[in-house]
Structures are given as structure tokens and as C-alpha cells.
Amino acid sequence: MPTAVITGGTRGLGAAYAHHLAERGFNLVLVARDRPRLDAVAEQLGRRSGVIVEAIAADLTDPRERALVELRLTDPDRPVELLVNNAGTECPEVFGAAALDSLLYEVDLNIVALMCLTRAALPDMTARGRGAVINVASFAGYLPPGGCAYGASKAWVLTFTDTVAASLSGTGVRMLAVCAGRIRNEATSAPERSPLWLTPEQVVRSSMIDLAKGRTLSTPGWLYRGLVSVLESPRSALRLAAAAAGRGRERCARLPDS
């Protein structure tokens, strides 16, 4: 059975990925800070699905604890086929009023931890010629709420994924950024049929379809998909221009000397 590592895998979107992948026959490694909840979710999910569910209790902003997850990602005897970088946090205060510790924690979890885990996973995946990384970003990466640093951290996730995915062409390894909009959870009171709100299961299903199609960006929900297609237009045009220029240089390089 293939194995998937899911950070923030006990709640919300992370739990939805865990249930979806277990149903598809993946063994799971769930990562979260809350050891009692983590153990309970792992036991329940393993009993219900019949797959092997490992639990790693770790604060991913602590390099020593993050190293436990990095070691699991690089274990040659237990290869990981899929890494889901789902763990994230939001400092809601306006930047100038936010506590520095909260801002640093946001950057350490949303950016540093995601980068470190991806860096740990990719070499073994490319050596095997298969594997995938899903990075959970946010629509706030395109249109951030005024004054908060959260949107900037998610914009980094989008750009990072796009850049690294381009370097994986031909390796058999895929990378996908999930541009998630507003997601319902236990505490959400939202209109039942509002296109602004998506269920975790909708986001997971849409992103897994896009991953299978080889896409590098998944935007679940018709409303968000339409908005992102407009916002992505300039970048898409630049990509096409760069690709055309690259092909032109290749043709020139093949021309015989006169």
C-alpha cells in the first residue's frame, strides 16, 4: 500500500484528506501537536478503514520536533508516496498591532515548515520516479485581507509550488497548490448554498482530481475558479512567452554554423 503523510491531519481539511486517502487504500502518517486527539483520531481511522495509521506528535515550528517528520519522510524502508502540507495558522491582527511572536509562528508554520518538509520528501521521490506533494494555500494568497500577513504567507506557498513544480518536469513527481476559499467546519455558521463556502470534502475531491490530471494549481468551487483564472491570466501569458522563448533558443542552438 502507498503511504501518505498529512500535517494537521486531525481536523478540518487535514482530516478530510486522511479519510479520503484511507478510502483509497493509503496507509497514513498523521502529524499534529495535540497528542491525545492525534492518537484518538489515528486509532478510530485505522479501525474504520483497515489501513495502517501512524501518529507523530510534533510542533512543526520547532526544528527538533520537525526533524521527526523529516526522518519519516526520508526513511528508505518505508517510502512516502504523497505529502500533504496542510498545517497552517493565521494571525488575524493587523500587522502593526500583532505580537511579533504570533507573526513569527505564522511564518515558521506556513512557510518554513512547508519548505523543509517538501525539501525532505522530494529527493527520495525523484529517485524513485514517482510521488507527489500537495501544498494547501489559500485564495487569500491572491486577494489578502487588508493589513494581515497571512495572505503574504499563502502567496509564498502559491509561488513556491509553481516554481518547484516547474523543476520536476520529467521526474514522475508532481506538485500541486490548493487555492482553498472559505471552508466550512464544526464552528462555521454559513448559508447552506453560498458559493463562497465549500466543504472540506469538496476541496479534497477537487484537488485529488487536479493532481491526477497533472495540474499544479487546484481551485475548488466555480466562483473561486473563475476569479483565479482572471487573476492568473498575466502569469499564464508570461509562462507561455517564456516557454516560446526557450524553444526559440533551442532551435537556434541546433542550427549548423554557416
Residues tagged active-site: 150
Q: What's the rounded Cα separation, in Å, for the pair 230 and 91?
A: 28
In angstroms, the Cα distances linking 70 to 76, 134, 243 are 12, 16, 34
Q: What is the DSSP secondary-structure string of 42-73?
A: HHHHHHHH-S-EEEEE--TTSHHHHHHHHHHH
Containing 152, the helix (H) or strand (E) segment is: helix 150-167
CA-based R_g, the chain, Å: 19
Residues 200, 20 contacting (CB under 8 angstroms): no
Residue type for position 196? L
Residue with cell 522563448: 245
